[in-house]
A and B are shown apart, each in its own frame.
Chain A
Amino acid sequence: MAGRRARAGAVRARVLIRPKAGILDPQGGAVARALPALGFEGVHEVHVGRMIELEVDDPSTVGAMCERLLANPLVEDYEIELLG
């Protein structure tokens, strides 16, 4: 979907979901430990989340989608980007 135009009347939205600060993120830790092994020094923090791209008719509904399904607000933060 990336790089593509949204269908007529629809808006492309991108939702970035990441573990809440303070919640142990073993995936981020594993990646952070792997990078120096490849010679990439100076990496201090890595957090692994996920990205969801949607095409929606009404972008004002994306927040509710995040609260109810796309993210688990107890353990994850989310950010919505509207791409037009």
Chain B
Amino acid sequence: MRIGVVRFPGSCDHRDTIAAASAVGEAVELWHADRDLRGADAVIIPGGFSYGDYLRAGAIARFAPVMEAVGELAAAGGPVLGICNGFQVLCEAGLLPGALLPNISLRFRCVDVRLEVSNPRSPFLAAVPAGAALRIPAKHSIGRYYAPAGMLRELEERGQVILRYAPGESFNGSVERIAAVSNAAGNVMGMMPHPEHAVRERDGSADGRLIFASLRSAVAATGAGAAAGSGSAR
């Protein structure tokens, strides 16, 4: 399995993401100006401050050439995971519903959070044992998930809310404590916490490994991937 990790000018978590992804497959760095995904079966958009967060977080990155290929992979059912800034980029690109707004405190916070599984059927949680909660750090100033009431109802009904902050731990003020959502098809997910920073016991938690381990089943479930990633979608 080949996992493409997209790097924009201003990305900063691509190294940890590549290291974490390398434990479950062959990780390759993709540059924002690339027009294809170098054969990647799955794509991760890592955290950071793409294009300096100018205008709005993720607003400029969505127009990067590589995003067209990411959109093709997503349309073909291939797994696409956005972490933190990656989540913001996927929302701006319209690949995920909703938006991320400044934390209610207006402050950057870096904290370990406990996450509840909201939809255990998500392919991105395939390796998470039933009933388990995850402990993963979050670090951001723009992470308050928002969706208008009607959209929120649809997300809940369709099982697109994938992870929630445990009660009392939704420090950013996200609606319904939402930490991760998927698209309707389930093959694109965005999450604010950083699984790539929790992969060894010395990180304080190794629960993030479960998200990366799930990528293999996510790829198997879709059967998409390389065909779309090579630039010849479908």
Contacts and interface: CB of A to CB of B under 8 A. Distances in A.
Contacts of A72: 56, 59, 92, 99
B105 interface: yes
A19 to B, nearest CB: 8
B168 interface: no
Interface residues of A, number: 10
A10 B99 CA distance: 34
Interface of A: 23-24, 26-27, 30, 69-70, 72, 74-75
A69 B106 contact: no
B99 A75 contact: yes
Contacts of B59: 69, 72
Contacts of B148: 74
Nearest to B62: A69
B interface SS class: loop
Interface centre among A27, A30, A69, A74 (most CB of B within 10 A): A74
A70 to B, nearest CB: 7
B55 interface: yes
Nearest to A52: B55
A27 B146 contact: no
A27 B107 CA distance: 11
B92 A27 contact: no
A26 B99 CA distance: 16
B184 interface: no
A26 B104 contact: yes
B106 A24 contact: no
Nearest to A30: B106
B101 interface: yes
Nearest to B98: A74
Contact of A23 (B63, B105, B146): B146
Given A26-B102, A74-B98, 13 more contacts: A23-B101, A23-B146, A24-B104, A26-B103, A26-B105, A26-B106, A26-B173, A27-B102, A30-B106, A69-B55, A72-B92, A72-B99, A75-B99
